[in-house]
Amino acid sequence: GESVSHPDPADTATANADRQVELRTKDRLRKLSGQIDKALARIEGGTYGFCEETGDPISLKRLDARPIAKKSIEAQEMHERGERLSIKAG
């Protein structure tokens, strides 16, 4: 009979890819968990739903889609554009 002791390289690669996904997911969830704690603290403190940069109310639609949002769409987009520009410059 055939020896089954040698793992198929494709199976090994798949297992490794699965492991990577698990690790990335764990990392993402850990970060998310911290963001959720902060969002809950903002609810307690009465600052939830207001942009941390402009102080403007964050739209309900945005909060519904992303309950951990700390910035209004406008501030978030400015922030992301700023990040991209600084990356190019650096």
Contact 71/51 with Cβ under 8 angstroms?
yes
Q: Check the CA dihedral 10-11-16-18 and report its sign.
A: positive
pLDDT of residue 88: 57
pLDDT of residue 89: 53
pLDDT of residue 10: 86
* Residue 53 backbone phi and psi in degrees, to 5: -95, -45
pLDDT of residue 2: 61
Q: Please give the distance of CA 5 from its chain centroid, rounded to a whole number.
A: 40
Residues of the chain with pLDDT under 50: 90
pTM given for the model: 0.64
How far apart CA 81 and CA 72 sit, in angstroms, is: 14
How far apart CA 55 and CA 84 sit, in angstroms, is: 23
Q: Is 67 helix (H, G, I), strand (E, B) or coil?
A: coil
How far apart CA 32 and CA 50 sit, in angstroms, is: 19
